[in-house]
Amino acid sequence: MLYFKISRLLFPAVWLIALWCSAAMADTVWLKNGDRLSGTVRSLEDGKLIMDTDWGGTLSLNWSAVSTLNSKNLITLRNSQTGESYGVKLEAAEAGWLKVVSSNQQEEKVAVSRIDDFMKAKVKSDRLNWSGNVDAGINLKHASTETQDTHFSFNNKISQGKWRHNSGATWSRETEDASVNTYNYSLRYAIDYTFREQFFWQGRASYKRDWVEDLAHQALIGTGPGYQFWDDERGSFSLSILTGAFGYGYSDGTIDRHFGSSLRWDYQRYLRGKDVTLFSHGEVGHSLDDEGIFMLDAEVGLRYALTGWSTLNIGYGRNLVSGTRDTLNERRFTTGLGVKW
């Protein structure tokens, strides 16, 4: 009975200590209306302060409504006039002011209204990071003909330390009455190893299957260097050059194989805080033998955040293969809803 009473007394105390510790490690934002928010400050751009919270997901706050803030993390502060960036810490001061603490511990009090651009500095860590999205779109039309378009795409990124894994898949089907006009799927996987700052080495494989076109199979496997131009709170951009084998299979069972190289890009940029994402990824390649095969597979689009986990997306894609027995030239417009994590 005594043990039970002690446990009942200790449990609230432990819970309060854990709550205080988590709050102490969080960033704090004070608003002009007197409210106080706790979470992780991510970035400030275009008058929007982006902040992650456990209770409300990702918030987009008007910077004009902020009185002061305190950040536990290192912040990259950008001078919009000179374009220079500085690693600093931001500490709370009286209403309307911030303390900017430099790396050599020098402090300067700055008006909140004078600061218009910063983001949380990216710190190297071996912690596992997982992000991705699933998009799906269905279009049904009943008129003189009955049309049904269905599109599905999946993108997944897992990074830990110097390793990064990217995988994805698409599936499309378009029918008009009893006729199938489009029916295909694709799979891709890439593994990157960062060996020096922004330089990485990539190995990549992809496969496409089509049940309508004469060019029924496309396969690529290659390896080569890459460069990560940036990867921060506002997006990412990387290029990689791969050399390897191209394979093309046709509906009659014949197969062509070629040695070639390709340039792969992956671009993502957050706009209006993180409400809108502009994205583009794709690959352009050419054979290195006498066949002169050219290929392009690219997509560009916008993704609008409806909630912290759901999106509305619109995109345009192009798939072109020339120099093979059958020239492929596909254009696709997609729109639909998605889930992100």
Please report the pLDDT score of residue 339 as a whole number.
93
Please report the pLDDT score of residue 152 as a whole number.
93
Q: Cβ contacts of residue 264 below 8 Å, gap of 6+?
A: 190, 202, 204, 226, 239, 240, 241, 242, 281, 282, 283
Which of 87-91, 140-144, 254-258 shows the lowest mean pLDDT across its residues? 140-144
Please report the pLDDT score of residue 286 as a whole number.
94
Please report the pLDDT score of residue 13 as a whole number.
45
Residue 74: pLDDT above 50?
yes
Which of 201-205, 234-238, 305-309 shows the lowest mean pLDDT across its residues? 305-309
Residue 294: pLDDT above 80?
yes
**CA-based radius of gyration for the chain:** 25
Please report the pLDDT score of residue 17 as a whole number.
40
244-253 pLDDT, tens digit each: 999 999 999 9
Residue 177: pLDDT above 50?
yes
Cβ pair 149, 180 in contact under 8 A: no
**In Å, how far are 9, 13, 43, 114 from 61, measured between CA atoms?**
40, 34, 11, 17
Mean pLDDT of the 167-184 span: 91
301-313 pLDDT, tens digit each: 999 999 878 999 9
| Residue environment code for 26-56, b if the CB has 16+ CB neighbours within 10 A, otherwise e | bbbbbeeeeeebbbbbbbbbeebbbbbbeee
The structure's pTM equals 0.78
Mean pLDDT of the 53-68 span: 88
Please report the pLDDT score of residue 244 as a whole number.
95
Residue 10: pLDDT above 90?
no
- 2 pLDDT band, cuts 50/70/90, is very low
Please report the pLDDT score of residue 25 as a whole number.
59
In the chain, what percentage of residues exceed pLDDT 70? 92
All structural domains of the chain with their residue ranges = 2-120, 129-340
What pairs with residue 165 in β-bridges? Answer: 158, 191
Mean pLDDT of the 198-203 span: 96
Please report the pLDDT score of residue 69 as a whole number.
94
- CATH for the 2-120 domain, from 1.10.3720.10, 1.10.287.1080, 2.30.30.100, 2.60.120.40: 2.30.30.100
CA distance 147 to 141: 5
- CATH for the 129-340 domain, from 3.30.700, 2.115.10, 3.20.20, 2.40.160: 2.40.160
